[in-house]
């Protein structure tokens, strides 16, 4: 699979790129089959020309960032050049995805990315910033996007290494009405490794246990997109179709090796998905429109 990127930068005073950064990629069959295998689908059940299952586009447009250009936390290039705010810790906050069409496996794609907003704030844990990055994916020979996605990130200051005088109490379980579909899922080290390999995600918090512990976590952190991909499989199987929109937010950390409860609940014309930790605490929630 080839990658070519054409970057144009002209930052405004707020640190945002005025000109979108563009990249080309290919919806390559081998990568699609690896994603299918990870999700326990028959890899040979997908072939050139078939529509890509919606949501699997996360396997593409992951630029091969030179090792010397990785952030301290291991994060790679996100499609746009982030402003230097002196905050070395990066976390995904959520995603908004509109599926406006389908991608055929084997198709050549183009993505245009821009920083939609940068908001700096202060809280009990210090300064942080909220950054929204908008991606518009088109087919190589088309001018209308098939996917419009806004990825939300949180930038935080470096850890001080100080132990809080009074550790925060564990969050209480969150009560929810009975779900239409429920399953359990354990994202272990193998799942993290395979997903990071498929998406070329070198963020250290997903594989470097000493680093994760230095961030205050007792185990590796699970990329929130992993349970989201399983939930999309549940949606397809139960609803019998593909999603048109996805709106998710990450609420609490998901630890590697923990048994998660994934739920799918109908809410009128929409569906709610939730990821619950072993203590019944909400870790991620999303609204899905068929």
Domain boundary (158, 190, 213) is at 158
Report pLDDT for 18: 57
Do 94 and 199 reside in the same domain of the chain? no
DSSP 40-72: T--GGG--TTSBPPTTGGGGS------GGGS-T
The pLDDT tens digits for 112-149 are 999 999 999 887 778 999 999 999 999 988 889 999 99
The model's pTM is: 0.87
Note down the domain range covering 224.
174-290
Residues 22 and 137 in one domain: yes
Question: Does 166 map to a domain?
Answer: no
Domain containing residue 287: CATH number: 3.10.129.10
User: What's the maximum distance between 2 C-alpha atoms anywhere in the chain?
Assistant: 59
Low-confidence ranges of the chain (pLDDT < 70): 1-18, 160-170
Co-location of 106 and 182 in the same domain:
no
Decide if 164 is inside a domain.
no
Number of domains, the chain: 2
If asked whether residues 149 and 87 sit together in one domain, one would say yes
In a domain? residue 143: yes
pLDDT at 161: 58
Q: Of 283, 281, 228, 276, nearest to 251 (Cα)?
A: 283
Q: Is 196 helix (H, G, I), strand (E, B) or coil?
A: helix
Q: Which helix (H) or strand (E) holds 260?
A: strand 260-267
- Are 202 and 153 found together in one domain? no
Examine residue 122 and state whether it is found in any structural domain, yes or no.
yes
Task: Report d(CA 94, CA 84) in Å as an integer.
Answer: 21
Residues 209 and 238: their CA atoms lie apart, in Å, by 36
């Amino acid at each position: 699979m080839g990658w070519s990127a054409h970057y144009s930068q002209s930052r405004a005073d707020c640190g945002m790129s005025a000109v979108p950064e563009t990249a080309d990629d290919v919806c390559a069959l081998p990568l699609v089959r690896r994603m299918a295998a990870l999700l326990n689908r028959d890899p040979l059940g997908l072939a050139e020309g078939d529509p890509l299952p919606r949501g699997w586009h996360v396997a593409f447009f992951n630029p091969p960032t030179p090792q010397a250009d990785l952030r301290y936390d291991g994060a790679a290039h996100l499609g746009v050049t982030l402003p230097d705010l002196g905050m070395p810790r990066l976390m995904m906050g959520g995603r908004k995805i509109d599926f406006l069409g389908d991608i055929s496996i084997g198709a050549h794609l183009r993505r245009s990315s821009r920083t939609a907003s940068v908001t700096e704030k202060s809280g009990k844990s210090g300064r942080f910033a909220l950054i929204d990055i908008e991606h518009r994916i088109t087919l190589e020979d088309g001018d209308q996007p098939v996917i419009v996605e806004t990825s939300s990130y949180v930038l935080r200051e470096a850890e001080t290494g100080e132990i809080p005088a009074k550790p925060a109490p564990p969050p209480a379980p969150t009560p929810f009405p009975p779900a239409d579909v429920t399953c359990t899922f354990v994202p272990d080290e193998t799942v993290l490794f395979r997903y990071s390999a498929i998406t070329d995600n070198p963020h250290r918090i997903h594989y470097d246990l000493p680093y994760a512990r230095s961030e205050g976590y007792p185990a590796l952190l699970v990329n929130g997109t992993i349970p989201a991909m399983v939930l999309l499989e549940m949606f397809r199987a139960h609803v019998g179709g593909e999603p048109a929109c996805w709106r998710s937010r990450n609420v609490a950390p998901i630890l590697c090796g923990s048994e998660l409860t994934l739920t799918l609940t109908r809410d009128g014309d929409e569906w709610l998905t939730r990821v619950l930790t072993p203590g019944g605490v909400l870790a991620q929630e999303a609204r899905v429109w068929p």
